[in-house]
Structure 1
């Protein structure tokens, strides 16, 4: 009231007291409305972020990676790359059993990882020095078990009977025949496609030959180190887990290529990888990996996931970790 009198004496046109109250009320209402709108927007954004993070941490937004048994064993339940171990492991229903093949002296294919037979068979000879018949007559021993070395045909047939898909590693040697890849494609392409089996190799010439001669086959290029992102026709990359990071995974996915991590036997690393978009995890301890997946998906610990998520944000997406 006093303010109005002063303004009138100064020659200003002053609204009535009622009008002043209306103006102040309207202004106050507009301020409250703007504050309310801002608060609502903040709440919606916070809720959206919280919902995304919760769903992410609980695994609701993650596709479960393929669970892959390395060399067809689980925690030493048999001799690597043998049929009895395959049959045991297949009962646990991994998505794939990873195994190794090599060319023999007579240009056949045998299931064996090591080039030299000394460690498993006690014979100081290489795979390429022996025929398929000589190799399959040998007994290999490991983890308190023994079994015969199988041909690839025998192993493939056993996998088909068990309805078990394979991730076939093609190992190479300077002694390989020039027609090795042509023979492999001719003999096995249709069976592998029918079974939904996949292939990977540390040899880029093998990867390139397969994608050129049998483009329908799914082929992954094995990389021991994450130095730089390669430009290849491969469908996927099998990356050694020590140097694998989210930047590599994102680059691969941008090019429609999958990423498998190997060989992951530590539960903490398994947990960390489950919080990325890695497409497959290769392990010697399939039952442990299944337990970690079950814990995350069926009985999740939010606090544990939050800790892992925070650690991931702090380091995993930047520099590589163990």
Structure 2
């Protein structure tokens, strides 16, 4: 069994924040550009406003990327909606992204406890269970999402689970273990950085350990062309990038860019 979210030919290309290199991260314009290039997987982040409205934005505050100021969790939607990314583009509602890009799949980093219930409700309202994978840097937030959403939701491994996998990786077999794969409520993939400081996170042993559990391995955020190629040669299942044209070119040269839908 494979979760429908992972039903994709070849390595998955993720447009990180829609392709953050152009300065319009997490906007409809950025996501539209990625989709027009042929991206089927869009990575984004979610926060909730003070009145429970779920928005796609990476930071906890408006200050870095918009012309607004203040913490999203402290502001009502009527104020957040006036902020413009790079002074140009509005902060989108996550529900609107699901509607605007019906053919896309979303990889979501849930950034705050207040976003958990609105996120699950947005997925449920859109019946987007097959189009969404949720992860978090907080194991507690990820566990809460899993409890609320139930087994239909695809998730990546949390930080505690990734650490355990990494520590066990030298001792794993390469043969998948059907008893561990595709169990409802468990992670369907591992999403990790290429490196943690000087230490390589993704290597052949780590990939072997993930395969043993039936898990795909997706690596973020890779913007260097040579490193993209090296990771694909290693056998990773997906790459997240800010530089969407570069990753598209690397995959196309390998005959691994999917045909238009």
Contact 2:156-2:187 at 8 Å conserved across structures: yes
Q: Any residues of structure 2 matched to 1:129-278 within 5 Å, and which?
A: 129-141=74-86, 146-160=88-102, 163-172=103-112, 176-177=113-114, 180-189=115-124, 191=126, 193=128, 196-213=131-148, 214-221=150-157, 223=159, 228-229=164-165, 233-242=186-195, 243-278=201-236
Is the 1:223–1:238 Cα contact (8 Å) retained in structure 2?
Answer: no
Instruction: Give the TM-score, by structure 1 length.
Output: 0.63
Structure 2 contact 67–83 (Cα < 8 Å) conserved: no
Indicate the structure with greater helix content. 1
**CA deviation profile, 1:256-295 (whole Å, cap 9, x unmatched):** 1221100011111111111123121000112111211222
Give ranges in structure 2 of 5+ residues lacking alignment.
1-8, 169-184, 196-200, 257-261
Q: State the number of aligned residues.
A: 225
- Deviations along 1:164-191, one digit per CA (max 9) or x if unpaired, are 221122112xxx44xx534432332353
Deviations, residues 101-133 of structure 1 (Å, cap 9, x unaligned): 111111221111011211212333111111122
CA distance in 1, matches of 2:233, 2:137: 27
- Determine the structure 2 residue equivalent to 1:113: 58
Structure 1 residues 74, 110: CA separation in 2 closer, same or farther (over 3 Å shift)? closer
- Give the greater-gyration-radius structure (CA): 1
The answer as to whether partners of 1:265 and 1:283 remain within 8 angstroms in 2 is yes
Aligned to 1:199, the other structure's residue is in SS state: strand
In 1, Cα distance between equivalents of 2:43 and 2:52: 22
Structure 1 runs of 4+ aligned residues shifted over 4 Å read none
Q: Which region of structure 1 is more displaced relative to structure 2, 104-113 or 242-251? A: 242-251
Q: Given the superposition, is the C-alpha separation of residues 192 and 279 from structure 1 closer, same or farther in structure 2, using an over 3 Å criterion?
A: farther
- Is the contact between residue 142 and residue 158 of structure 2 (CA under 8 Å) also seen in structure 1? no
- TM normalised by structure 2 equals 0.77
**1:95 CA displacement:** 2.9
CA distance in 2, matches of 1:95, 1:157: 14
Q: Report the 3-state secondary structure (helix = DSSP H, G, I; strand = E; otherwise coil) of the residue aligned with 1:99.
A: strand
Residues 100, 168 of structure 1: 8 Å contact kept: yes
Q: Using CA pairs under 8 Å that are at least 6 residues apart, name the structure with larger relative contact order, 1 or 2.
A: 2
Q: CA RMSD in A?
A: 2.6
| Residue segments in structure 1 that go unaligned for 5+ positions in a row | 1-62, 299-322
CA distance in 2, matches of 1:74, 1:124: 20
Equivalent-residue separation in structure 1 for 2:253 and 2:158 (angstroms) = 29
